[in-house]
Amino acid sequence: MTCVKTVAALAATTALVVGGFIAAAPASAITAGQLTGSAVFLGDSYASGNAAGAYDTASGDCHRSANAYPVVWKAAYPGVRGQSFACSGATTANVLSAAAPEATVAAALGSATQVTITVGGNDIGFPQAVTQCLLGSDAECDDYLRTTTTTLVAALPAKLDALYARINALAPNASVEVVGYPRLFDASATSCSLWSVAKRQAMNAMSDRLSDAVAARAAAAGFVYRDVRGDFTGHGICSSAPWIVDAGTGATWEWLHPNAAGHARIAALLAAPQHPVEVSASGGRLKVAMTRELHASANRVIIWVNGAYAGETYRGSTYYGSVSARRNTVEVVPSATVKAGDRVQVGIVPGVPGNSYPSPGSVSLLADTQVDSVYSATLTGDGHLAVVLSNALFSSANQTTFYVNGTYHGATNRGTAYYLSGWYGGDGVHLTTSDGGFKHGDRVTVTVGSQTVMDRVL
C-alpha cells in the first residue's frame, strides 16, 4: 500500500477553493420516500428494549420501548416499512411467536427486505445467571457459570442453526443482521458496589462465550453479525457513562439491560436500507442493480447514458437489457456499452413503456453518477465517512468534493486529498474523512466539478 498525499485541515470551512473553482452546493437526487423496503425486527429483551424506558403498554410483558434500537433505526428511515416482533423472554424456540401469532410473523418475513435479530441470551439462562451471581458468593457465581451456563452455551449452536435456517426459508429475499450482546461490566472500574471483581470478570467472560457462539452461527448461515462489545467498552455497569442498567435500578426485568443510549448506539451500527439503485461498470458493460421491489413495481424506471435512453424496467420486465437476480437484488445490464467518464442516470418516469422517452432532467432521479468514478461511500465503525475513488478520478484535474448532510467534509484534486487521509489500492483510492460523528441515516453527496455523481443515505 502507498499512502496518498494529504493536506491537513487548518480551519473549519464549508467550501474549498482550488485553482479558482468553488465547489458547487450538493444537489438532492433521492427522497426519503424512495428508500422503500420492509424491515422486520425479532429478538428478546435486548431487542424489545427492557431498561430503555417509554414502553408501549400495548406490548404488555414484551416491554417494547420507543427507545429500542428497532424503533430508533426505523425513525432514521421513514421511507422504510418496519415492524418489531421483539419480546422480553424470547428464546430461539419461540422468537417467531412470542409477540404475535407465528403466521403473522411469517407473513411479515415473506415480504421483508431486511431482518434483524438478537436472541440466545435466554437460551443460556441469562436471568438465572444474574440471580446466582448477584446473590451468591464469588465461588458460587463462578461455579454456576462454569457448569450450568457452560452446558447451555454448548447446546446453543444447534438451536441457532435451526432458527437461522427457518429465517432463511421464511425471508428468502431479505438481508439478515444478527446483533450480539455487550459485556455487562466496565473492566477498568476500580469499584462496583454490588459486584466484586471476580463476579464482573466471570460474567463478562460468559457474555463473550455467548457472543462468540452467536457470531459463529450467524457467519455459518451467511448472515451479517454486528458485534457490539467494542462499542460498549467504557460504558458497562460502574463506568462513568453506563449504557447498561445496574441491579437495583428500576424494575427487576430492566436490570442488566441496555438503556436508551445503548440502544441508540446499536441502531447506529445497523446497515442502512438497501439503496433502490446502485450503478457500476465492468469491461464496458453497465450494471444497474436495483431492489426486487423496485424492479417488480408499477414504476417505469428508465436508464440514460449521457442523456440518451439506454433501457428501462416495468412490472418485472426489462427492456433493451438482460437481468440476473440474487437475494434481494435484480441486476440489469443494458445493451449499451459505456466508458470511463460517461454519465449514467436512472429515474422514475410516469406512465408505461412506449415511445415517450423524457429527458433525465425532467424526472425524479434515483441515481446520477459517472462510470468509473466514485465506487463506494460507507460509514466506518468509528463514525467517519470512507470513500473509494477510481485512480483516474483521484489524479484528474476535476475537483471531487464530499458533503455529509450538505456540509463540506473534504475534497480531492490532482492527486491531493484535503481533510482526508487514505491509501492507494488495486481497487482504487481509499479515503477517510478527518471529521467523524456520522451515523446511518446521514446523507452523503459527492460532486465532480459541478456534477453530482453520488447522493445517497449512509
Q: Which residues carry out catalysis? A: 45, 257
Exposure string (b/e) for 99-132, b if CB count within 10 Å is 16 or more?
bbeeeebbebbeebbbbbbbbbbbbbbbeebbeb
Q: How far apart are CA 83 and CA 116, in angstroms?
A: 11
At a CB cut-off of 8 Å and minimum separation 6, what does 92 contact? Answer: 119, 120, 123, 156, 159, 160, 162, 163
Angle at 154 between CA 150 and CA 159, to 5 degrees: 130
Residue type, 444: V
Name the nearest CA neighbour of 178 among 217, 149, 210, 152: 217
Residue type, 367: A
All three cell numbers of 440, joined, read: 446511518
Residue type, 410: G
Q: How far apart are CA 170 and CA 40, in angstroms?
A: 12
Q: How far is CA 241 from CA 232, 244, 252, in A?
A: 10, 9, 21
Exposure string (b/e) for 36-67, b if CB count within 10 Å is 16 or more?
bbbbbbbbbbbbbbbbbbebbeebeebbbbeb
Helix spans in 21-101 (H): 45-48, 69-76
3-state secondary structure of 248: coil
Backbone angles phi, psi at 204, to 5 degrees: -65, -40
